[in-house]
Structure 1
Amino acid sequence: MTAVEKAHADGNEATLDNGPILIPAETSLQEQRPRALKHGDTFAVYDHNGDILAGAGSPEGLFHADTRHLSRLQLSIDGARPMLLSSGLRDDNAALICDLSNPDIHDGAGHCVLAHDRLHIRRVRLLWDAVAYERIAIKNFDRKIQRITITLTFAADFADIFEVRGATRERRGRYEPEQVSADTVTLAYTGLDHRLRETQLRFEPPPTSLTTRRADYEINLAPGETTAIFVEIGCEALPATQSARRAFFRAFLNARRGLRASSSRAASIATSNQILNEAVRRNVADLYMLCTQTTEGLYPYAGIPWFSTAFGRDAIITALQTLWFDPTIARGVLGHLAANQATDFDERADAEPGKILHELRRGEMAELGEVPFRRYYGSVDSTPLFVMLAGAYLERTDDIETLKLLWPNIEAALTWIEVHGDRDRDGFVEYHRQTEQGLANQGWKDSQDSISHADGSLAQGPIALVEVQAYVYAAWRAAAAISHRFGDAARASNLSTRAEAMRRRFDTHFYDEALGTYVLALDGEKRPCRVRSSNAGHALFAGVALAERAATVASTLMTSFSGFGIRTLAASEARYNPMSYHNGSIWPHDNALIAAGFARYGLRQHAARIFEGLFEASTYMDLRRLPELFCGFPRQRGAGPVFYPVACSPQAWATAAPILLMQSCLGLRFDPCGNRISFDRPTLPSFLDDVVLRGLANANGSVDVSLKRSGVDVVVQVLRRSGACEVVTTA
């Protein structure tokens, strides 16, 4: 995610080539509680009534390819806004359903001509193939005929996603003349990039009156009668002969089938805790809603509303979290990132040969270079994470053919790590942006003030982050394992030697006895940033930590446990602020990776405690969704977590966090070559008594498994076996 996008977090400025852009957090998403839908490169954000009422700082709108194609869509009854009865997404995220009723409606003399709650309005909204579909059903529950006017007002500002976030532009393109027929309105804009962008609205039946800004229906409803209005809103031209009514039902069926087909490959999770079951169903639905089908396969877009596009780091971590659950996501991520790997130098894009994508944008501002994120490579960790994921994917699936296709990209990534990532040849990978328009901090904590010294002063680059060195170690290990599988023993040995050398260097320069953990980073003068941070937990996740360090590091990390999760920065640190983006907040994905690190070193009780905290936090969340982050205030008895005002939800790596937490607690591992699935010292968190995993697939078979608490132990039982697949349990 970009500095421009994240500057809102602390009111920081993000500098672009057109000057500083201040993106303040003026409006809290928690106040709005928007409802989001997504399909492919299109997403929509509605309010609880199903309306779009975009204003300053509002994320509401219908967006396609980083452009807002609809900035207003509001329904009224005789000029009044309906009253909300309920609003929610289907469990599979296929549609948003809003139930509304009429308020008291008065005539010009103040007489009530329609008492409240006589009409029921159900709005069903969905997205499919760059089109937003809506069915508005109105039923009269009064005992007399009601004559009403239903009005839909609409507008399209064709704002770039960065404009919606608050960026200002000196010049914009031109709005084209609107076109209106009996049932269709076309709104259009030609950008400074000379690209025509259109929004087409079609109504069925044709409205009583239709203009470029509103559709009016004069409706007579007998007692008990229902009528329906169908609306199509295309981010491109709609098919000329298609019926809006038929199109709605066809799209609804396709949306449900598409989501079901995407998730059908995955394992399933059922537990003794019904609240967790609800949360897991939502997580899985969110995960596949966020996934976009690319040429190379499924790719999880980072989050809605601000990050609904391809991010390298986010997708890799999401793929790692869900690898046991559905390895096809990892295959799609590896393929798409390989296809977009940098092959040349481009200072403006922070690109160097072999480097893995940070972010891809397709809006007008990106196309024109007004923001540098059209195809941007300013993350220091995406490249080693790419190699890590490739190795983990091979270990999970033994899909050697895919790895052979990816090997040139892996080799290029390793070369980048060795040559461009380590310019001063000290054995560590550092970052320093090549252009003032790029990101100042290029790790996952990329806000302006996230890397500091113990006295609170900001670290100056080039900066070597603790987690990046851990990822590099894991990348060398992964490449060695891949080479070994390819039968190249010499190459495997060389890569293993590099990994072990990194491990020794890392322990010498990053471990701090007095802190009881790893320092946050080394600055440009090789001075350690002696700060207790959650970043140190990634050293456990990647396996670079020496075994004798693990318990101490884990204990230090748990001192930052708020009751709901481990904070990004310890409360004792100078820059601690529980309301900051990266200096005291709690990120679910960060906690899930830390918990996986605890499990790697046999500390499953710590992992279970993190799972418990995040689960309990989710019970206070809308739709039981874990958001991008929440505030790090200490937990209070009988109260939930404090929400972060502009956290994205759903967010892919937050959605995937419980999936990884389940694996970490159960010690679940796969050995496709040996046709084995193992559970190493499984632990159930306190809120679970049993878990059933169905469809655990290995290369040559699959199993359904039950895990039940029995005193202090967990008993594993195979419920179903198909093909050659052995289940092994280690006590």
Structure 2
Amino acid sequence: MNQLMSITRVQDAPVEAGTTRHENPNAPTYVLKHRELQALFDALGNIDPAAGRDRGLYWNCTRFLSRYVLRFGDGRSPVGLGAFVSADHTTLFADLTDPGTDDGRQKPGSIYLHRETLLFEQRLLEKLILSNPTQEPRKVRLRIDWEADFRDLFEIRGSRRKKRGTHRETGDPRRQEYLGLDGVERVTRIELHGLEAIRHEEGRVFAETTLEPREQRTLMISILCEQDGEASAAIDFQGARQMRTEWERGVLGGMAALRLSHEVFQSWIDQARTDLLMLLTDTPQGLYPYAGTPWFCAPFGRDGLITALQTLWFAPAIARGVLAFLASHQAREHDAFSEAEPGKILHESRKGEMVALREVPYGAYFGSADSPPLFLKLLGRYVRQTGDGDFLREHEAAFRRTLGWVRGKLAEEGFITYARHHESGLVHQGWKDADDAVTHADGSRAEPPFALAEIQGYAFAALREAAELLDLLGDAEAAAGCRRESEDLRERFEREFWLPDLGESGGYALALAAGRPCRVLSSNAAQCLFCGIVPGEKAAALARSLETSFSGWGLRTIDPGAAAYNPLSYHNGSVWPHDSAIAMAGLSRCGQRDLAERILEGLFAAAKDYDFRLPELMSGFERRKLGFPIRYPNACRPQAWAAGCVFMMLEAAIGIRIDGARRELRFRDPWLPASIDSLEVTGLRVGEARVGVRLTRRGRTVDFSLREEEGPPVTAVLERTC
């Protein structure tokens, strides 16, 4: 590991526009999103391809704006003074100034530019305030270079296409048009007003004005994305901001508020909540957390289900929206291309030209073997926490179809297994879906069919939850069958997956591949602790074996002693915050507090280094060797389940269990990290009631006090078992 000491830290640094045509992977990225619309900007408020191939304005998985660069009229780039995204994540602010002229006639700082940019439905809206801070009149000439390449998101990610549609001549320099091979017309339109002189050329807009000393003028810019003439209603900048703010207030009103005694840790919670708000998207079925930007700004089944599990205890509306959406998009028939089977739950749903042409299978794709059991697990927990029996009855048919898929797979195969049915689909259909994600002890790739360890844990939990739901529906016979099958699955899992000579004290195989155990110590096994399938006597042994997998920041996906280990691999040695959070929750549940607390502290330390916005993954390099987390290239930030991990870990630490039907609140062996003295939760929903709870750490134990806020009375119980 000596080579690690040669790694030096790369600080994020902006690229001065116009100085290079090469991408700078370290240029800061500022992300905005509203519903299906997302945009990635640089520190000048521009969309400049020189800063990264992902920069752009995207709608419906198509890039409607690939260049949007503000310059002075003579081609000079402004100098950046600072940029930030507002606390409510609706608006990007960028402050710029004039760099001065080479001949010295105009000194730097002669012009001040203030940009405010937000997204609303299908529009990018910008307010550009021009100020003259000097005592001399100033003539200001501006130029905006803009381009729409209308590339599909999968093209930008690297997919090659034999043929593309046609960019059409419009005769109007304010419009760029593209007719796709799918027959859909896509249009980007730019509008400017507020200055006296505005002139349009192909791909450029010029505007100019004269500013008197201390005078300000405002230029308003609107960029509209259209598809087959579909356009959102016109709205001004202030109106859009107000509607965004009101929507977010409404969503926050349905969530409990969390307040910690530790201000720095509180910053992590606040940023995570802000990121979740940005990624939450209104659907006809309710709120859905889109997976992440830029590549995964779409509904993903597994990601949505895990994010909903992470946030259920304080934001049940997210779980309700996820469940309703996935129930309405459930597979009803067999289709090899999309991996659809009756009862399966969506893996992802995309839009765009390549999806419409079936160049990729991801329009409605079902290549996810863990989404069905996760759906059942979330549904059971949601109904128990909220007491919402009407929701269960409304979606009973979808519930029974998914349960039928899970029970059918177990009856047929003994485990939940998968093998792709079409060469265009995913080789692996668990959360580790890279082609090389499942290997044997010698590092060789395993062969299908695959039965991943954690998916069997999900199935065990799903059967237990389904049994309770069937009891509510009055189907005692089916409920008894689910309980019996869950115990049968546990016995088979112990018999086939447990390897007493794996790791320090024994561990579970990463998977069974073509019937052979993959003898690799992995975080897959750690997730089994969260699902309850691991017997109590095995929890301590598994925790000891996992010690070497802990990097200091989080749990590596596989142990560093494995042949396939690579700290810069996507799934063979990296650290995924959501994966570590699930493992931490399982460890805490099983009484393995020491490692659980170290994982929480490690992710907190990493969050501080990432300005409290954890990425989807980090490299697996050892913390004690370097002292800072090494980035993984092109990791998504923000990402929903990375944002949600802090809430899952707090839930696990305080051991909270909510029973809405009984109006009961339980805290099982609650604890708080040594740096946190207290946690206060207000607006916590317990069935039809709302309560406030304050938890206070006293050494190694935690006490609580309850305050009823509205609704019927609630019973609170403190359980101490260790």
Structure 1 residue runs of 5 or longer lacking an equivalent are 1-25
Whether the aligned pair in 1 keeps the contact of 2:458 and 2:531 (CA below 8 Å) is: yes
What residue in structure 2 maps to residue 269 of structure 1? Answer: 258
Whether the aligned pair in 1 keeps the contact of 2:22 and 2:50 (CA below 8 Å) is: no
- Greater shift, 446-455 or 479-488, is seen at 479-488
Say if 2:551 is the partner of 1:558.
no
Specify which of 48, 68, 85 is matched with residue 53 of structure 1.
48
Distance 1:583 1:255, change over 3 A: same
Any idea what SS the aligned residue of 1:530 has? coil
CA distance in structure 2 between the aligned counterparts of 1:625 and 1:695, rounded to whole angstroms: 25
What residue in structure 2 maps to residue 690 of structure 1? Answer: 678
CA distance in structure 2 between the aligned counterparts of 1:348 and 1:637, rounded to whole angstroms: 46
Specify which of 63, 66, 82 is matched with residue 71 of structure 1.
66
Any idea what SS the aligned residue of 1:31 has? coil
CA distance in structure 2 between the aligned counterparts of 1:654 and 1:30, rounded to whole angstroms: 21
Distance 1:529 1:239, change over 3 A: closer
Whether the aligned pair in 1 keeps the contact of 2:23 and 2:49 (CA below 8 Å) is: no
CA distance in structure 2 between the aligned counterparts of 1:265 and 1:605, rounded to whole angstroms: 34
Say if 2:199 is the partner of 1:209.
yes
Whether the aligned pair in 1 keeps the contact of 2:64 and 2:225 (CA below 8 Å) is: yes
Task: Tell me the CA shift for residue 694 of structure 1.
Answer: 1.1
Say if 2:703 is the partner of 1:680.
no
Say if 2:143 is the partner of 1:151.
yes
- Greater shift, 492-501 or 668-677, is seen at 668-677
Specify which of 130, 138, 154 is matched with residue 162 of structure 1.
154
Deviations 1:33-63 (A, max 9, x none): 2111111111111111110112696111000
Whether the aligned pair in 2 keeps the contact of 1:48 and 1:87 (CA below 8 Å) is: yes
Task: Tell me the CA shift for residue 29 of structure 1.
Answer: 8.2
What residue in structure 1 maps to residue 632 of structure 2? Answer: 644
CA distance in structure 2 between the aligned counterparts of 1:444 and 1:711, rounded to whole angstroms: 38
Any idea what SS the aligned residue of 1:349 has? coil
Whether the aligned pair in 2 keeps the contact of 1:540 and 1:598 (CA below 8 Å) is: yes
Any idea what SS the aligned residue of 2:681 has? strand
Say if 2:509 is the partner of 1:509.
no
What residue in structure 2 maps to residue 3 of structure 1? Answer: none
CA distance in structure 2 between the aligned counterparts of 1:599 and 1:485, rounded to whole angstroms: 29
Whether the aligned pair in 1 keeps the contact of 2:95 and 2:114 (CA below 8 Å) is: yes
Specify which of 114, 132, 144 is matched with residue 140 of structure 1.
132
Whether the aligned pair in 1 keeps the contact of 2:94 and 2:114 (CA below 8 Å) is: yes
Task: Tell me the CA shift for residue 241 of structure 1.
Answer: 9.7
Any idea what SS the aligned residue of 1:69 has? strand
What residue in structure 1 maps to residue 5 of structure 2? Answer: none
Say if 2:589 is the partner of 1:593.
no
Whether the aligned pair in 2 keeps the contact of 1:259 and 1:285 (CA below 8 Å) is: no
Any idea what SS the aligned residue of 1:175 has? strand
Task: Tell me the CA shift for residue 252 of structure 1.
Answer: 1.0
Specify which of 356, 380, 398 is matched with residue 369 of structure 2.
380
Say if 2:34 is the partner of 1:39.
yes
CA RMSD, Structure 1 to Structure 2 (Å): 1.9
CA distance in structure 2 between the aligned counterparts of 1:105 and 1:664, rounded to whole angstroms: 59
CA distance in structure 2 between the aligned counterparts of 1:512 and 1:722, rounded to whole angstroms: 51
TM-score by length of 2: 0.93
Specify which of 165, 169, 184 is matched with residue 177 of structure 1.
169
CA distance in structure 2 between the aligned counterparts of 1:454 and 1:590, rounded to whole angstroms: 22
Specify which of 644, 657, 675 is matched with residue 656 of structure 1.
644
Amino acid at match of 2:455: V
How does 1:559-574 map onto structure 2 within 5 Å?
A: 559-574=548-563
TM-score by length of 1: 0.92
Task: Tell me the CA shift for residue 285 of structure 1.
Answer: 1.2
What residue in structure 1 maps to residue 415 of structure 2? Answer: 428
Task: Tell me the CA shift for residue 104 of structure 1.
Answer: 2.3
Specify which of 474, 498, 510 is matched with residue 485 of structure 2.
498
Whether the aligned pair in 2 keeps the contact of 1:698 and 1:725 (CA below 8 Å) is: yes
What residue in structure 2 maps to residue 449 of structure 1? Answer: 436
How does 1:249-264 map onto structure 2 within 5 Å?
A: 249-264=238-253
Specify which of 116, 129, 133 is matched with residue 124 of structure 1.
116
What residue in structure 2 maps to residue 92 of structure 1? Answer: 88
Whether the aligned pair in 2 keeps the contact of 1:296 and 1:332 (CA below 8 Å) is: yes
Structure 2 residue runs of 5 or longer lacking an equivalent are 1-20
CA distance in structure 1 between the aligned counterparts of 2:321 and 2:232, rounded to whole angstroms: 34
Specify which of 442, 459, 462 is matched with residue 475 of structure 1.
462
Whether the aligned pair in 2 keeps the contact of 1:607 and 1:664 (CA below 8 Å) is: no
Whether the aligned pair in 2 keeps the contact of 1:124 and 1:135 (CA below 8 Å) is: yes
CA distance in structure 2 between the aligned counterparts of 1:404 and 1:434, rounded to whole angstroms: 33
Amino acid at match of 1:104: G
What residue in structure 2 maps to residue 523 of structure 1? Answer: 513
Distance 1:518 1:241, change over 3 A: closer
CA distance in structure 2 between the aligned counterparts of 1:383 and 1:216, rounded to whole angstroms: 54
Whether the aligned pair in 1 keeps the contact of 2:679 and 2:695 (CA below 8 Å) is: yes
Task: Tell me the CA shift for residue 30 of structure 1.
Answer: 5.4
Task: Tell me the CA shift for residue 202 of structure 1.
Answer: 1.0
Distance 1:240 1:35, change over 3 A: closer
What residue in structure 1 maps to residue 76 of structure 2? Answer: 80
Specify which of 388, 403, 406 is matched with residue 392 of structure 2.
403
CA distance in structure 2 between the aligned counterparts of 1:426 and 1:69, rounded to whole angstroms: 46
Any idea what SS the aligned residue of 1:442 has? coil
Distance 1:164 1:27, change over 3 A: farther
Whether the aligned pair in 1 keeps the contact of 2:25 and 2:52 (CA below 8 Å) is: no
Task: Tell me the CA shift for residue 726 of structure 1.
Answer: 2.4
Task: Tell me the CA shift for residue 662 of structure 1.
Answer: 0.7
Distance 1:27 1:509, change over 3 A: farther
Say if 2:606 is the partner of 1:617.
yes
Specify which of 52, 57, 64 is matched with residue 62 of structure 1.
57
Say if 2:688 is the partner of 1:700.
yes
Whether the aligned pair in 1 keeps the contact of 2:25 and 2:51 (CA below 8 Å) is: no
Distance 1:536 1:288, change over 3 A: same
Distance 1:719 1:101, change over 3 A: farther
Deviations 1:353-391 (A, max 9, x none): 111111111110010011111111111111111111111
CA distance in structure 1 between the aligned counterparts of 2:650 and 2:446, rounded to whole angstroms: 36
